[in-house]
Amino acid sequence: MRVLVVTNFVPDESAPQRGRWVRDQVAEIRARGVEVEEFAFPRGSRNYIPATRRLRALLRRERFDLVHAHYGLAGWVAHLAGARPLVVTFHGTDVRHPVVGPLSRRLAWRVDLVTAVSRALFAAEDDRPGLPAVPGAAVLPCGPELGRFAPTSRAAARAALGLDPDGRYLLFPADPARPEKRHDRAAALAAAAGAELLTGGSIEPEAMATWINAADAVLVTSDYEGFGMVAIEALACDVPVLSTPVGVAPYLLGGIAGCICAPFDPEIWAAVARPHLDAGDPRVAGAGRAATLAAGPMAERVIAVYRHMTASPV
């Protein structure tokens, strides 16, 4: 089986972690014997027409059993280039964005298989509509490669980052400039709990585990999430997670003592956060739950879909 992955999740200096989940999935699929080629192009409206032309030329030169596009606009590029059969995985912003969202919902009726990284993307969330109920639609997450994430010494992590060994730290791992991530909520919680807020956005992927292990808890204060990768990574480190009920958080955090999955309320969240901030090295029993959503098991689900669509044993 030969698969072409199309994506505009291209990292840059401002977001070095962008698209790592797609790259991790591709690596896991290749490790299981599937031949995968990648067609990547940068974000930005000026890049879509040239990418469509280049992809159309590639599809005329070479044969692929299936094309798998990640993100709605990359899916439009693949569709307009004539890719068939075409699987499109939607990731979150492409569904909830006021401009891109309607384009994604229109595309959903034009491809061979609609998939999303969580069930949440098929329902309205925070007054934003979800994907249409296209027959045969599936949930195909891109899990994180958890070999990079495990509990390590909090003292060592803080020393590596130059943080106060006795500090009270909450980690907001997203880009504060993205309004849907709600940095304002994280800042309000830190103030209410008497903690210092660490912020992400430009953290190198290789350093994320160190930042997570340095924190007393990780915050997901978003209005919406397609999946919720960093919450899985935090649980793999047994670090407490406080999250709004977005993406996979209801499943991921359900029943794990020390975590919360609830609408944001600074007083309630601060009551959960304070015991972690007061503890020397607060941990939760999260690694086992995180492992169920890791890149390897999720890649196996994707391969099963590829086999079904191509009637290929490999």
pLDDT in tens, 186-203: 999 999 999 999 998 778
Quick one: 208 and 93 in the same domain?
Answer: no
Name 125's bridge partners.
128
**H or E segment and range at residue 241:** strand 241-243
Quick one: 199 and 74 in the same domain?
Answer: no
Q: What is the pLDDT of residue 313?
A: 63
Residues 111-167: pLDDT tens digits? 999 999 988 899 887 778 999 989 999 999 888 888 889 999 999 999 999 999 999
Percent above pLDDT 90 for the chain = 77
Give yes or no for residue 270 having a pLDDT over 70. yes
Report phi then psi at 23, rounded to 5.
-65, -40
Quick one: 61 and 177 in the same domain?
Answer: no
Q: What is the pLDDT of residue 2?
A: 96
CA dihedral 240, 141, 247, 129 (to 10 degrees): 170
Residue of 183, 189, 168 lying closest to 242 (CA atoms): 189
Quick one: 264 and 304 in the same domain?
Answer: no
Quick one: 151 and 270 in the same domain?
Answer: yes
- Residue-number span of the structural domain to which 107 is assigned: 2-144+294-310
Report phi then psi at 83, rounded to 5.
-70, 130
Quick one: 92 and 105 in the same domain?
Answer: yes
CATH number, domain of 120, equals 3.40.50.2000
Which residues does 132 contact at the CB level (< 8 Å), separation at least 6?
105, 108, 109
Quick one: 131 and 154 in the same domain?
Answer: no
CA distances (Å), origin 166, targets 48, 64, 155, 211, 279: 49, 55, 9, 15, 10
Name 114's bridge partners.
88
Mean pLDDT for the stretch of residues 39-67: 96
Name 121's bridge partners.
none
Quick one: 106 and 14 in the same domain?
Answer: yes
What pLDDT band is residue 16 in, cutting at 50, 70 and 90? Answer: low
Quick one: 56 and 158 in the same domain?
Answer: no
Mean pLDDT for the stretch of residues 233-262: 95
Quick one: 282 and 185 in the same domain?
Answer: yes
End-to-end CA distance of the chain: 6
Quick one: 105 and 53 in the same domain?
Answer: yes
DSSP at 6? E
**What is the rounded radius of gyration, in angstroms, for the C-alpha atoms of the chain?**
20
Q: What is the mean pLDDT of the chain?
A: 93
Which residues does 287 contact at the CB level (< 8 Å), separation at least 6?
150, 151, 235, 236, 237, 238
| Count of structural domains, the chain | 2
Q: What is the pLDDT of residue 107?
A: 97
Quick one: 104 and 151 in the same domain?
Answer: no
Cβ 69 vs Cβ 6: under 8 Å: yes
